[in-house]
Structure 1
């Protein structure tokens, strides 16, 4: 039996978390961060004229070129964009992997029913400019795709899967399903808003943040190897105590970018 829906305020907050841009001036570049070379396929995807102007404005804060370069997105890759929201990254993936690649915009059924509307990303999949995009609607934790993937990507949404509106989803199952969906050597990239160290899951609902140590522990427990972190979205000035939509910190949150890899020997 389905649980009662959240209050209207909570629903609107959820919709914003999944689909709305993080506003405000971008955080300063992390101190000591190395310059990252952006491959030609990713650079071309960022400058593609099919992208909405509003998405391009967001690039300065979200650093999609550096993020996709860190993930290793190549032409012909098969990618799942888990909880794609409005499709900001979906569009970039589509052009970066090219016509021989494939992008699965994976929308949990729980989120669609809660919002009571079709996923925003459906419009992208219907656009001939993004013909390699397919939307998958499926109830978590039953993550699955029609073919093995090179990359599973989720941005600012891992904490949501721990929230009550998602069940919460059993992340031990979700992460194992993602492990199965990836090719040997495939990558699982997780971006999220940082909570205070040691806070665990305490702030997933009230602040929309998660302790990065929890993510690392849960994902590696599914068999992944932690390969490293990009610090391109780090913001040391963020005290990690405010809701990510608070005007004092919105658009300037500290975010971790964690890269996990399925061992090449795994099947």
Structure 2
């Protein structure tokens, strides 16, 4: 009932909004595209194809707001970089549909250390309902996909690259994403927030100062576009490791949107 209510609420809200604005704009391709994207995202979140574990995480992860912020819509080519178990991979698949494609990119270095690291997302790609998903095992500094990407996405992973592989490796990763995107394409980075100037032990917290992310990604050629506050949690003082039961699943997170220049 909850997922049906979500879809119904979005569709009704869109209809009411259409009635409240200028008729000419309501019929314009721009408005219709935005309305269609909102309904498509709501349908993806409400899909019965999603595992119960994913649905249970929605309250904390706020997928509808995040996908709308990213500008995700049908027909897009998307890379879910470091996809974990495929939470966002499945949502992307449902939104972009048969006209689009999703590449779940698992770091080759991670698979070398943990051979089963790609198994969960491979299982998703093997399901007929997610036939527009492909799994690629590649070095993060040499991402290659068959088509230019409209959207590249990484959630709760950037700190691992920066502190695990190093500053140079993080910049090489950003440059690799830049090269894989089409001109005007979007790069979304979501991560757990660390306090500015946190000492070297911040790596053990699995957090990162948002200013570091922005500095690194802009150095690769991206333009910073905007930040979403949807995952902000003022009750998180950033002192606990993200896996601590007192804060796990409810960390203060930054959501940054970067764009590759169109020219």
The bucket for the TM-score relative to the shorter chain is 0.7 to 0.9
SS of the residue 1:239 aligns to: coil
Superposition pairs of residues 28-177 of structure 1, within 5 angstroms: 39-117=38-116, 119=118, 120-164=120-164, 166=165, 170-177=169-176
- Gapped regions of structure 1 (runs ≥ 5): 1-36
* Structure-2 residue corresponding to 1:224: 222
Q: Retained in 2: the 8 A contact 1:203–1:209?
A: no
* Structure-1 residue corresponding to 2:208: 210
SS of the residue 1:39 aligns to: helix
Q: CA deviation at 1:205?
A: 2.7
Q: Retained in 1: the 8 A contact 2:45–2:91?
A: yes
Alignment root-mean-square deviation, CA? 1.6
Higher Cα radius of gyration:
2
Q: Provide the TM-score with structure 1 as the length reference.
A: 0.81
SS of the residue 2:92 aligns to: helix
Task: Specify whether residues 204 and 79 from structure 1 end up closer, same or farther in structure 2 by C-alpha distance, changes over 3 A only.
Answer: farther
Q: CA deviation at 1:139?
A: 1.9
Q: CA deviation at 1:53?
A: 1.2
Q: Provide the TM-score with structure 2 as the length reference.
A: 0.83
Q: Retained in 1: the 8 A contact 2:110–2:117?
A: no
Q: CA deviation at 1:169?
A: 6.6
Q: Retained in 1: the 8 A contact 2:140–2:176?
A: no
Q: CA deviation at 1:198?
A: 2.4
- What do the CA deviations read for 1:18-47 (whole angstroms, capped 9, x no partner)? xxxxxxxxxxxxxxxxxxx87011111111
Within 2, Cα distance between the matches of 1:163 and 1:227? Answer: 25
Q: Retained in 2: the 8 A contact 1:79–1:151?
A: yes
- What do the CA deviations read for 1:78-129 (whole angstroms, capped 9, x no partner)? 0000000000000000000011000000000111122232511000111101
Q: How many residues align?
A: 227
Within 2, Cα distance between the matches of 1:99 and 1:204? Answer: 42
Within 1, Cα distance between the matches of 2:228 and 2:130? Answer: 28
Task: Specify whether residues 146 and 203 from structure 1 end up closer, same or farther in structure 2 by C-alpha distance, changes over 3 A only.
Answer: farther
Q: CA deviation at 1:171?
A: 1.4
- Gapped regions of structure 2 (runs ≥ 5): 1-34
Task: Specify whether residues 207 and 148 from structure 1 end up closer, same or farther in structure 2 by C-alpha distance, changes over 3 A only.
Answer: same
- What do the CA deviations read for 1:41-96 (whole angstroms, capped 9, x no partner)? 11111111111111111000000000000000010000000000000000000000
* Structure-2 residue corresponding to 1:246: 244
Q: Which runs of 4+ in 1 moved over 6 A?
A: none
